[in-house]
Structure 1
């Protein structure tokens, strides 16, 4: 096995890991938010619907 094959297998492993991470994140997001909120295109709708800790709003208020 030469260096190119090792790099190729590492790239496939990284690709699979990223794919699984995205799948996990998609499932987690779909369970946390309803479909209407996720597919809304109205600006500010998501920000208004989320409950954000006031101490983490970047110094606002």
Structure 2
């Protein structure tokens, strides 16, 4: 296997990992915030909402 093929496979692997990370982040964001809040056009609304009621992390005490 030459260097170019190794770089190509590495790039494909990296793109798959980034795609999976984006999917996981999408599901976590969807569970953490309501659809109305995510589609609102008011600036700072998400920051204000998280300051009032921050999402609870699992395992935190």
Distance 2:16 2:40 in 1: 30
Gaps of 5+ in 2: 53-61
State how far apart, in whole Å, the 1-side matches of 2:32 and 2:46 are: 13
**TM norm structure 2:** 0.77
TM-score norm. by structure 1 comes to 0.77
- Matched residue, 1:55: none
Q: 2:41 — aligned with what? A: 41
Superposed structure 1 runs of 4+ greater than 6 Å apart: none
Q: How many aligned residue pairs are there?
A: 52
Q: Residues 1-61 of structure 1 correspond to what in structure 2 (within 5 A)?
A: 1-51=1-51
Question: Between Structure 1 and Structure 2, whose CA radius of gyration is higher?
Answer: 1
Q: Which stretch of the first structure deviates more once superposed, 42-51 or 19-28?
A: 42-51
Q: What stretches of structure 1 of length at least 5 have no aligned partner? A: 53-61
